Amino acid sequence: MRCAASHLRAPSTQTTRTARNPITKTLNRSVDYRRCVPILNHMVEYSTHLDAVFHALADPTRRAMLGQLAERELTIGELATPFHMSFAGASKHVRVLENAGLVTRTIRGRTHLCRLEAARLAEANAWLRRYERFWNAKLNALEALLLEEDKAKPKKVKE
């Protein structure tokens, strides 16, 4: 793993001598020297997984394939049949689903069996639920405001 500051060289002795405060020297040392702690960002990795899942789900053919795989394991040929596509075309769709972690492919001889892996779908669902709660709260507030406005309006009497 590459350090974020690995392109920097160690400071010269002149720079080190000019630092007045020993705390500043210690803090600068972690930034200036090649030996530093690698920076890890787990949210970027999580975001990459979600991006791949939503990319895979963006295609209606792949969504339909996931629906079929929710019922049972299928071969690539069985997945291709309802869509009247070639084995190669179906295999490309399955590869996208595999890269997103939604499907695992097992090869037995010449047969490629595909199985749904629901863990990534659960991650995407959890991400969507956060925003569902947000929008439900906003929509409930809007509904309350509209109901209040309707009550405040004088009712028209038909003549």
Domain borders along the chain are 1-40, 43-119
Give me the pLDDT at residue 28, please: 53
* Tens place of pLDDT per residue across the chain (159 aa): 444 444 444 444 444 444 455 555 555 554 555 554 555 454 455 578 889 999 999 999 999 999 999 999 999 999 999 999 999 999 999 999 999 999 999 999 989 899 999 889 998 998 888 888 888 888 999 999 999 988 888 776 666
Residue 9: Cβ within 10 Å count: 8
Give me the pLDDT at residue 106, please: 93
pTM: 0.58
Q: How far is it, in rounded angstroms, from Cα 73 to Cα 46?
A: 27
Give me the pLDDT at residue 151, please: 87
Give me the pLDDT at residue 7, please: 46
Q: Amino acid identity, residue 29?
A: R
Give me the pLDDT at residue 49, please: 83
The CB-based long-range contact list for 105-114 (8 Å cut-off, 24+ gap) reads 105/76, 111/75, 112/75, 112/76, 113/73, 113/74, 113/75, 114/69, 114/73, 114/74, 114/75, 114/76, 114/79
Give me the pLDDT at residue 132, please: 86
Give me the pLDDT at residue 22, please: 57
Q: What would the CATH number be for the domain defined by 43-119? A: 1.10.10.10
Give me the pLDDT at residue 16, please: 45
